[in-house]
Chain A
């Protein structure tokens, strides 16, 4: 048992921390206020390989392990949760499935441009009628010659309005339920019949674009299928496991920002002739936040470690995501409380942390679904 990070992991963490503090934190409030996609920041992140951090160097990635990925996600998200989710989706929901299920030619063509950060990727799973129940999806991909014709609409797609590439789930065989779903990789710019629909107005993560993807008789080429037909559901489950570690790390990053801001405020703010940091109720909140964040970090690193060492991690990833996001939300709510009235004022970042934290309990598997996943594992004796 050894909790010490490897030299490489420490290096990635330190680099991410420095980059986040110097390049991202100063502009995060502006990005949020203007609902602005962080293009310049992402360019810089591409240079340090953060957009394909665990992809082998052969395909344009950073060649790092998943523990390093998690550590980087925490630091980036601490500065800006929106940048964090853009990074997470790119890494876990686009790069991972192409890496895991694509052949060499597909990786060269579809993975390298995204892992290297030249282009962004997105994950087309969710639909208006298919959220927690993805098997209810209606987007179809019907065989046509050596390719497919795609019809349908995806909803709530992170990076949907800025991505050039998409890993997409569609029904290839109707009436088969989840066994009729397949996964495709799509070059959106070269797919006639594709258009971006509504770009959502959200409560938080405002610098992250969340859009509808519309496919009307859109043609996919012969090399678009990842793996085999009918494997889509299993591929999705495995993809989301890793995505959960990314989101857990995003949530923890938000939580760490909350703690840092709340501590700083409590040490400065005076009432009743002393700093409020002297009051036990404030100390209680700070201690609980710190404790739950530390627990979150350990669950996240454990899940990432399991993934790196080819140990089972479905339950572990679900626990990390559920715990860290709930802890971050609790932290953010209490963080606003510590700041009192100022916690409600947009000039202070705490309000943004609370708006940003909420989605972590919902996307990439609601925490209700996380609990079902955990329980299913427990009841199987895992």
Chain B
């Protein structure tokens, strides 16, 4: 047992922390206000250079192969600086991993190095539809075989990074009236494919620097070779990748929560009321203690899940626990941070209101808290 980071893990965390502190944090407010894609893409290019976009990918494909624990640590540091950038990193890593796991050699060679190098600013994961969120098996986008192609028809919604993704993983029905969950296949689709339209960015509460778009498929012809994994086996692909994605979102949530608490802690030592810094009051101390304590619990649940995945052990339940706990703890932490700042916490002059807006999505995407509870309970009741 060794509940300490290795030197390499510390080094990667430090590298990400420095980048986050020096380059992401100073631009985060502007990115949130203006949604300036140039700023975001600048970040993504730098991150690719630092090896942060393909952290669990072998070097032969351009990945930095630092391991799941180190990538969790890095994600937390990136999220401390800018949640919008962090979610882009999380999804892009996940796309690279799904191609690594299920792709043909040709697919791996064609896409992974370009995600690693930053030639593709991002990858996108296109599963969700208007009628298929928590219930992805009821998706309706279809992919009909036609000679050397599959023809895709349908639409996707809430797709992170769709505007600047170099490759989409798209799930569609390849078998009519199948057993629930069967008959779905995954495809690799490139932007600019005729029949694929990327809709406008949603106007969101938070993580506004990250684009979230609709995708329309209108007789979109995708070469057969773009099938990812086995025909009709796509649902399993989706679920397996979401497991790992949960570790990324848990790590991201932790980062947002820590950023909020760190700001509040510092503010509390400076703000004077009733003749003393408010940090002297038990009510404030209690909030600080609770906020950090819960984030510590979140940190260790996340590191445990990351270690299990890294060492090839089962990690579904632990990843769900980490995502569920970290996202809810981070939400509570951001609420406390706004509260500790009082009225100032409600203004744009201080970052905590943005953090509270950014963190809200974490209990919703990549599996709502309710779904995480069902996943956990199902395992417990076996």
**Is B282's CB under 8 angstroms from A372's CB?**
yes
**Is A1's CB under 8 angstroms from B2's CB?**
yes
The answer to whether the Cβ of B376 comes within 8 Å of any Cβ in the partner chain is: yes
Q: Interface size (A, Cβ < 8 Å)? A: 44
**Is A374's CB under 8 angstroms from B374's CB?**
no
Tell me the chain A residues, 1-29 only, with Cβ under 8 Å from chain B. Answer: 1-6, 9
Question: In the complex, which residue of chain A has the Cβ closest to the Cβ of B265?
Answer: A378
**Is B380's CB under 8 angstroms from A2's CB?**
no
Tell me the chain B residues, 275-293 only, with Cβ under 8 Å from chain A. Answer: 279, 282, 285-286, 288-290, 292-293
Please encode chain A, from 185 to 219, with 1 for each CB lying within 8 Å of some chain B CB and 0 for all others. Answer: 00000000000000000000000000000000000
**Is A295's CB under 8 angstroms from B325's CB?**
yes
Question: Among the listed A283, A292, A371, which residue makes an inter-chain contact with B290, where contact means beta carbons less than 8 Å apart?
Answer: A371
Which of A144-152, A159-167, A298-306 forms part of the interface with chain B?
A: A298-306
The answer to whether the Cβ of B350 comes within 8 Å of any Cβ in the partner chain is: no
Please encode chain A, from 261 to 287, with 1 for each CB lying within 8 Å of some chain B CB and 0 for all others. Answer: 001001100000000010010011011
**Is A2's CB under 8 angstroms from B304's CB?**
no
The answer to whether the Cβ of A379 comes within 8 Å of any Cβ in the partner chain is: yes
Residues of chain B with a CB closer than 8 A to A322's CB: 289, 293
Given A1-B307, A283-B373, A286-B381, A375 contacting B288 (CB threshold 8 A)? yes
Question: In the complex, which residue of chain B has the Cβ closest to the Cβ of A301?
Answer: B3
Residues of chain B with a CB closer than 8 A to A1's CB: 2-6, 9, 69, 303, 307
Closest-CB distance, A318 to chain B (whole angstroms)? 8
Majority secondary structure, B binding face: helix
Question: Among the listed B2, B289, B380, which residue makes an inter-chain contact with A287, where contact means beta carbons less than 8 Å apart?
Answer: B380
**Is B1's CB under 8 angstroms from A319's CB?**
no
Question: Among the listed A2, A306, A323, which residue makes an inter-chain contact with B297, where contact means beta carbons less than 8 Å apart?
Answer: A323
Q: How far is the CA of A40 from the CA of B129 in the complex (A)?
A: 64
Residues of chain B with a CB closer than 8 A to A259's CB: 380
Residues of chain B with a CB closer than 8 A to A375's CB: 279, 285-286, 288-289
Residues of chain A with a CB closer than 8 A to B374's CB: 280, 283, 287
Residues of chain B with a CB closer than 8 A to A305's CB: 1, 3
Q: Interface size (B, Cβ < 8 Å)? A: 42
Q: How far is the CA of A296 from the CA of B5 in the complex (A)?
A: 20
Residues of chain A with a CB closer than 8 A to B294's CB: 323
The answer to whether the Cβ of A290 comes within 8 Å of any Cβ in the partner chain is: yes
Given contacts A283-B381, A301-B1, A371-B286, 18 further A-B contacts (CB under 8 A): A1-B2, A1-B5, A2-B1, A4-B1, A5-B1, A259-B380, A263-B381, A283-B378, A286-B377, A291-B321, A301-B3, A302-B3, A302-B300, A370-B289, A371-B289, A372-B289, A375-B289, A376-B285
- Of the A-B pairs whose beta carbons lie under 8 Å apart in the complex, a sample of 23, sorted by A's number, is A1-B5, A1-B6, A1-B303, A2-B3, A5-B1, A283-B377, A287-B376, A287-B377, A291-B321, A294-B318, A295-B297, A298-B304, A301-B1, A302-B3, A302-B300, A322-B289, A322-B293, A372-B282, A374-B292, A375-B279, A375-B286, A379-B269, A379-B279
